[in-house]
């Protein structure tokens, strides 16, 4: 007997109208379960939709260029079912008795179930790189055991197992880029110990003969790709409206990278699987263009920045090359974008912290008894919150279209932390509702996690205003780059003693240099001067915060 099943587009996330860029099967093809059927491409990912079951393709409904969404019909599969299998589906027992089995063999494995472990909620991050795979097929893991380590431009995070079980198959590898919902591995685990981070493929509907395809697999991310089909999709009549420009074979992240550098993907030959263009291919293309004296052209915006010519430094003497630290390499793009897109202006001033430092020294012993190290930073944070409340323009952000200003009613302060792997900016939330000792304790705990590489993405999101303090290192002033989409950042240098005229004589006073960089689209110079003057006044006499 022959049965038919309709294969639908599975859950592909919050996407609608995703374009079909490749049809991998044709009527008459024989496919196995998990073989790729079509390739979709959104603005963020390229996905291959696998077959939910084996069978023969009877009819392909969609074609290249179509836009599909969850639940749309892809194709119809046809599968021959033997009389024995048909009887089993209808509940008819077989005539021939089964050979006797031991009691142990007859018991179904009710205590085990197969589940897919997916990437959990890792914040507003996409394309996070896998830097370490901590398990292998056959390994036994416990609940909360670490499975893989991910590293974004701001944090390193370990993904724990949602349950205990045995690893069956590891789908990702080191170097892959993953996003929330991507498949990490499959496990045999105890039934009933389901987690919100695991999903099993939905069963086929026997009544309607409709099969929901399993979750799509992103190509180019190291996940297992089924074998290519020998046959090609049937020819589709071309209408004038169907004619479109040729499309390079590259992932959305590589396309974005090429746009940033002004590289034309149609001129680049791919070295990846199926001639897919990789990030390294784009970099090599740019290097060749620069070495030949060409300037990166065809950028998206009207501003054409000239390229920097490549120099052979070895021609002038001995050199040594070392890879740039990962956090610096990735965060560099964010800093460059902030510097190029935000008109920076920096306002400098000095705050008299003589009395504030005396207060801090007097309270250090009391704080130490509570295992808290009282530094100047929590006091500075409280002063900044007071200034932000008085001048809400500095606690705002500019909308992406540049037409609206978003005022925030919360006070989350980012603090730049120097770590062995580079600079990170964890955010201390609701600084206005916390005391100085509470802020000091939280800063100690956050800084320790930052230096150990244990910060989560959520720890570095939602900041309103950032403080970058170099006072413990040195310097008399600097111009910090604004941490977009914030509109201002405060730089703090090393305090120093300075003679100050009090109207009668010069008095030695402890002065703190501050540097306020601000977005001139939102804040003008007069506002910046008023803000630093207000902040200087609060630091000189913290009692003003009580007014």
pLDDT of residue 87: 53
Q: Which residue in 334, 344, 412, 520 is the catalytic one?
A: 520
pLDDT of residue 299: 41
Q: Are 372 and 395 in contact (CB under 8 A)?
A: no
Q: Which pair of structure tokens corresponds to residue 436?
A: 């100085």
The DSSP 8-state label assigned to residue 191 in this structure reads T
pLDDT of residue 69: 86
Q: Are 452 and 391 in contact (CB under 8 A)?
A: no
Domains along the sequence of the chain with CATH: 1-93+206-219 (2.40.50.100), 111-190 (2.40.50.100), 252-316 (4.10.320.10), 341-546 (3.30.559.10)
Q: Are 26 and 93 in contact (CB under 8 A)?
A: no
Cite the DSSP H helix spans in 394-478: 436-451
| DSSP result, 193-252 | ---TTEE-PPPP-TTT-EEEPPPPEETTTT---PPPPSS-PPP-PPPGGG-------B-H
Other CB atoms within a 10 A radius of the CB of residue 178 amount to: 26
Q: Helices 376-390 & 354-368, crossing angle to 10 degrees?
A: 120
Q: What count of Cα atoms within 13 Å lies in the side-chain half-sphere of residue 63? A: 7
Which residues partner with 437 through β-bridges?
Answer: none
CA dihedral 192, 193, 195, 199 (to 10 degrees): -50
The residue among 33, 25, 29 whose CA lies nearest residue 52 is 33
How do the pLDDT tens digits run along the chain, 547 residues long? Answer: 678 889 998 877 666 788 888 888 889 888 888 888 888 877 666 677 888 888 899 999 999 889 988 888 999 988 765 555 555 444 444 444 444 443 333 344 444 578 889 988 777 677 888 888 888 998 888 888 889 888 776 666 788 888 788 999 999 998 899 988 889 999 987 643 444 344 434 444 444 445 555 555 444 444 444 444 444 444 444 333 333 345 567 766 677 788 778 788 888 888 876 677 888 888 888 877 776 544 344 444 445 566 777 888 899 999 998 888 777 777 788 888 899 899 999 999 999 999 999 999 999 999 999 999 999 999 999 999 999 999 999 999 999 888 899 999 999 999 998 888 778 899 999 999 999 999 999 999 999 998 888 888 888 899 999 999 998 898 999 999 999 999 999 999 999 999 999 899 999 999 999 999 999 999 999 999 999 999 999 999 998 888 7
> Distance (Å, rounded) from C-alpha 120 to C-alpha 115?
14
344 is catalytic: no
Classified as helix, coil or strand, 95 is coil
What is the pTM (predicted TM-score) of this model? 0.51
Burial (CB count <10 Å: 0-12, 13-18, 19+), residue 203: exposed
pLDDT of residue 530: 97
Q: Are 113 and 189 in contact (CB under 8 A)?
A: yes
């Amino acid at each position: 007997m022959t049965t038919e099943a309709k294969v639908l587009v599975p859950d592909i996330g919050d996407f609608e109208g995703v374009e079909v860029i490749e049809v991998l099967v044709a009527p008459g093809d024989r496919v196995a379960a998990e073989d790729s059927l079509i390739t979709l491409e959104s603005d963020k990912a390229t996905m291959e939709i696998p077959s939910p079951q084996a069978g023969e393709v009877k009819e392909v409904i969609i074609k290249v260029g179509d836009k599909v969404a969850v639940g749309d019909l892809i194709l119809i599969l046809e599968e021959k079912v033997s009389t024995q299998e048909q009887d089993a589906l209808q509940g008819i027992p077989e005539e021939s008795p089964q050979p006797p089995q031991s009691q142990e063999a007859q018991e179904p494995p009710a205590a085990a179930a197969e589940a897919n472990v997916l990437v959990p909620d890792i914040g507003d991050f996409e394309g996070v790189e896998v830097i370490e795979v901590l398990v292998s097929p056959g390994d036994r893991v416990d609940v909360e055991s670490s499975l893989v380590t991910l590293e974004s431009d701001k944090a390193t995070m370990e993904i724990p197992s949602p349950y205990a079980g045995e690893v069956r198959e590891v789908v990702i590898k080191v170097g892959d880029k993953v996003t929330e919902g991507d498949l990490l591995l499959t496990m045999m685990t105890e039934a009933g110990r389901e987690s919100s981070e695991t999903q099993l493929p939905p069963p086929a509907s026997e009544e309607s003969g409709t099969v929901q395809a399993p979750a799509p697999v992103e190509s180019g991310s190291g996940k297992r790709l089924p074998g290519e089909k020998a046959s090609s999709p049937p020819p589709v009549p071309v209408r004038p409206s169907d004619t479109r420009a040729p499309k390079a074979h590259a992932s959305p992240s590589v396309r974005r990278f090429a746009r940033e550098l002004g590289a034309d993907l149609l001129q680049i030959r791919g070295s990846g699987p199926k001639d897919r263009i990789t990030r390294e291919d784009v970099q090599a293309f740019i290097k060749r263009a620069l070495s030949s004296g060409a300037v990166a052209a065809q950028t998206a915006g009207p501003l054409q920045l000239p390229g920097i010519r490549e120099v052979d430094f070895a021609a002038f003497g001995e050199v040594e090359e070392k890879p740039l630290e990962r956090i610096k390499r990735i965060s560099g793009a964010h800093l460059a974008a902030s510097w190029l897109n935000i008109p920076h202006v920096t306002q400098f001033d000095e705050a008299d912290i003589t009395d504030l430092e005396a207060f801090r020294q007097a309270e250090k012993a009391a704080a130490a008894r509570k295992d808290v190290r009282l530094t100047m930073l929590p006091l500075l944070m409280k002063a900044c919150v007071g200034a932000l409340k008085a001048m809400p323009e500095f606690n705002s952000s500019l909308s992406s279209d540049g037409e609206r200003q978003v005022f925030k009613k919360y006070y989350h302060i980012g603090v730049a932390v120097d770590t062995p792997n580079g600079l990170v900016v964890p955010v201390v939330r609701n600084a206005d509702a916390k005391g100085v000792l509470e802020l000091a304790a939280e800063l100690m705990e956050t800084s320790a996690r930052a230096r150990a590489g244990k910060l989560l993405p959520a720890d570095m999101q939602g900041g309103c205003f950032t403080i970058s303090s170099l006072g413990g290192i040195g310097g008399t002033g600097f111009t910090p780059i604004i941490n977009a989409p914030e509109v201002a950042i405060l730089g703090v240098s090393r305090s120093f003693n300075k003679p100050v005229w009090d109207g009668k004589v010069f008095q030695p006073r402890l002065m703190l240099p501050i540097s306020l960089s601000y977005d001139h689209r939102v804040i003008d110079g007069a506002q910046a001067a008023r803000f630093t003057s207000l902040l200087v006044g609060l630091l000189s006499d913290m009692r003003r915060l009580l007014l």
